[in-house]
Structure 1
Amino acid sequence: MSLPTFSFSTTAEEVADTFAGQIRGKNVLITGTSLNGIGYETARVIAKYANLVIITGYNVERLKLSEEALKKDVPGANIRSLILDLSSLAAVREAAVEVNGYSEPLHILIHNAAHGGGDFKLTADGLEIQMATAQFGPFLFTKLLAAKLIAAGSTSFSPRVVFVSSEAHLIGPGVDLDNLAHPTPEKYSTLGAYCQAKSANVLFASELARRSAGKIKAFSLHPGTIFTNIVQKEHNKADLVSFGVLNADGTPNKDSKFPFKTMGQGAATTVVAAFDTRLEDQSGSFLWDCVLANEKIAPHSADLETARKLWDISEQIVDEKFTF
């Protein structure tokens, strides 16, 4: 059977329907699944076919709203909620213990959550909160779940880990490796921290693919510009207006050089990264508009030495050696 050609306008539902056979029987964990976000839409379309979809969030009430909405949107879907605060290494460890205790295997892990900007803030671990949520929490969570993911593999299936990055990784010089362990407000800007976090997503995916040597397939992606919760946050407004993404009143700029996608179009590339069979021998790659786009990776996010150093620093910060 020939597979369709996906593009900017492809929806997550179309991708899920195309790869329904790959999704059936799979157990998928998606971080950051609040309503009005692409993580929720990703969970919704996958839940149509999956054996189990695990949704996460750090806010109990918001997570409950997502679970109720998913069960209403997809009657009969098997949804399980998991409290996960990626900004806290202790909370990540607790959540990983819970997942490792599940009787079901884990086939796909999707890192969709992001902190979403704001003033300089340190976590309980002394880390800058955007980088903690995008890199150190996911790094530890992936490390602690790696054995469970690998155990789900077979001769016909390789587990996948997906990182929702952004074209924002192109902005600036990339991850400031010297400032990760001891961040300071003098070097902080909301946009700069966000861009570094998204660069880290790309670097982590490529290094995970390299080190796991096929045991885990890893991908990063740009989902597009979508009017999600993060875009609507007041503290992000000035930067987005200056880039022409939003109008002065905070509404989407329809004349922007960053064309807006619908929620369904915004979640599509994530579902491609998780299930498209054409990616099986492309681990470590970057996707954009539902297709491979390694040529669009910024040089600082494609640098192998930077990826290795970020991995080593991450191991030191979470105090865990990541082996396969």
Structure 2
Amino acid sequence: MWPLCLIVPVLRNYYIATKVVLQQLLGRSFLLPVLPQHDGKVAIVTGGAKGIGFYTSKHLARLGMHVIIAGNNETDGNEAVRRIQQDTLNEKVEFLFCDLASMKSIRNCVQNFKARNLSLHLLVNNAGVMFVPEGRTKDGFEAHFGVNYLGHFLLTNLLLDILRKSGTKDFNARVVTVSSATHLNGQLNFDDLQSSHSYSAHGAYAQSKLALVLFTYYLQHLLTEEGSYVTANAVDPGVVNTDLYKHLWYPGRFVKWTTGWLLLRSAEDGATSSIYTSVSPDLEGIGGCYICNGGRTKSADVSYDMELQKKLWIESCKMSALPVSA
């Protein structure tokens, strides 16, 4: 029989997901407004080959952006590029290899991007893993924490100099980070951020999504202090019908397989808040927000704790071998 410390995160996540699904079914879905063209602007979308990331990339390409899909599967990435180019008639879509489970790969990705001498107006931190069995990244970090959070923390920090140069007073560069309502269930245990004791996939996932919100808010704090024309916002896509659910408990997988098409948002619908936050004039120069269903929403109370944000930032700098900046 599983100990209570492993069962509770599962029940809490299912409770949160059920509430969100009911809100989706009973509420009004957010419809994207007509968005301005962004010809000549450059975007990087992690995990842009499938699911929410694919439809985010596709819409950005339709708006005229030069879209770079960053991912760890070259076959899927190139196929996504082909489909987006064909559907949008925008040839400026390409794939760039980036394995978020490897800090070496992330650094190589950034080095390869910088060698192109391109600007960068938008970074969408979209990729992630969910409820995976206990495992470690190539650098020894718990998989959810390492891929969902720390990989994006490092990637963002390594690209900040280009984002700063690309942003202007009238057109800020943007960092958009995809979190989840499950961050409400997240807890940061600084004595065991890698979930080495009593591993819970649901608890580890929730922790990584809370870390992304804390990271977003503190990043915006630092950007505001230095006067950079860069904004950072977090996005909640809702409960979306994607391939990420393959590690659910069997009852959850059964419900998803049989009724997911009816109860859950499609990946295209799930991408709307990411797209809106990435390019809408409504959010020009506005950062430090949690966007859900196209509107600014309150995140977990703990996510606004600046001391906690700062503590996580400092620890993350140390873990990713970056100079500590706080």
Instruction: Tell me which interval the TM-score lies in, with the shorter structure as reference length.
Output: 0.7 to 0.9
Counterpart check, 1:190 vs 2:206:
no
Once the two structures are TM-superposed, the CA of residue 250 in structure 1 deviates from its matched residue by 3.0
Q: Deviations over 1:56-96 (max 9, x none)?
A: 11011111221122122222341011000011111110001
1:163 match: 177
Structure 1's 249 and 138: CA in aligned 2 closer, same or farther, altered over 3 A?
A: closer
Counterpart AA for 1:236:
L
Counterpart AA for 1:29:
I
Contact in 1 for aligned 2:314/2:325 (Cα 8 Å): no
Distance in 2, matches of 1:119 and 1:155, equals 45
Match of 1:236 among 245, 248, 261: 248
Q: Secondary structure at the match of 2:257?
A: coil
Q: Secondary structure at the match of 2:207?
A: helix
Once the two structures are TM-superposed, the CA of residue 111 in structure 1 deviates from its matched residue by 0.2
Counterpart check, 1:263 vs 2:270:
no
1:313 match: 315
Q: Secondary structure at the match of 1:81?
A: strand
Contact in 2 for aligned 1:48/1:77 (Cα 8 Å): no
- Please identify which structure carries the higher helix content: 2
Contact in 2 for aligned 1:169/1:199 (Cα 8 Å): yes
Counterpart check, 1:95 vs 2:106:
no
Counterpart check, 1:143 vs 2:147:
no
Count of residues in Structure 1 that have an aligned counterpart in Structure 2: 297
Once the two structures are TM-superposed, the CA of residue 249 in structure 1 deviates from its matched residue by 6.9
Once the two structures are TM-superposed, the CA of residue 201 in structure 1 deviates from its matched residue by 1.1
Distance in 2, matches of 1:161 and 1:88, equals 21
Contact in 2 for aligned 1:169/1:198 (Cα 8 Å): yes
1:176 match: 189
Structure 1's 274 and 8: CA in aligned 2 closer, same or farther, altered over 3 A?
A: farther
1:4 match: none
Using the TM superposition, name which of 209-218 and 84-93 deviates more: 209-218
Q: Secondary structure at the match of 2:233?
A: strand
Contact in 1 for aligned 2:48/2:54 (Cα 8 Å): yes
Contact in 2 for aligned 1:131/1:193 (Cα 8 Å): yes
2:43 match: 28
Contact in 1 for aligned 2:216/2:288 (Cα 8 Å): yes
TM-score (norm. length: structure 1): 0.86
2:119 match: 105
Counterpart check, 1:223 vs 2:225:
no
Match of 1:301 among 286, 291, 303: 303
1:124 match: 138
Distance in 2, matches of 1:286 and 1:269, equals 10
Q: Deviations over 1:87-126 (max 9, x none)?
A: 1111110001011112220000000000222111012211
2:11 match: none
Distance in 1, matches of 2:256 and 2:238, equals 21
Distance in 2, matches of 1:261 and 1:248, equals 14
Q: Deviations over 1:248-300 (max 9, x none)?
A: 47333578xxx52222221000011111222235311101101111x2x1122
Match of 1:206 among 217, 222, 237: 217
TM-score (norm. length: structure 2): 0.85
Contact in 1 for aligned 2:233/2:287 (Cα 8 Å): yes
Q: Which runs of 4+ in 1 moved over 6 A?
A: none
Distance in 2, matches of 1:51 and 1:290, equals 21
Contact in 2 for aligned 1:33/1:43 (Cα 8 Å): yes
Contact in 2 for aligned 1:143/1:322 (Cα 8 Å): no
Once the two structures are TM-superposed, the CA of residue 178 in structure 1 deviates from its matched residue by 2.1
Counterpart check, 1:10 vs 2:30:
yes
Q: Secondary structure at the match of 1:320?
A: coil
Structure 1's 147 and 102: CA in aligned 2 closer, same or farther, altered over 3 A?
A: same
Distance in 2, matches of 1:39 and 1:237, equals 25
Counterpart AA for 2:235:
L
% identical aligned pairs: 28
Distance in 2, matches of 1:8 and 1:266, equals 13
Gaps of 5+ in 2: 1-26
Distance in 2, matches of 1:250 and 1:162, equals 30
Contact in 2 for aligned 1:30/1:55 (Cα 8 Å): yes
Counterpart AA for 1:31:
T
1:3 match: none
Match of 1:73 among 63, 87, 91: 87
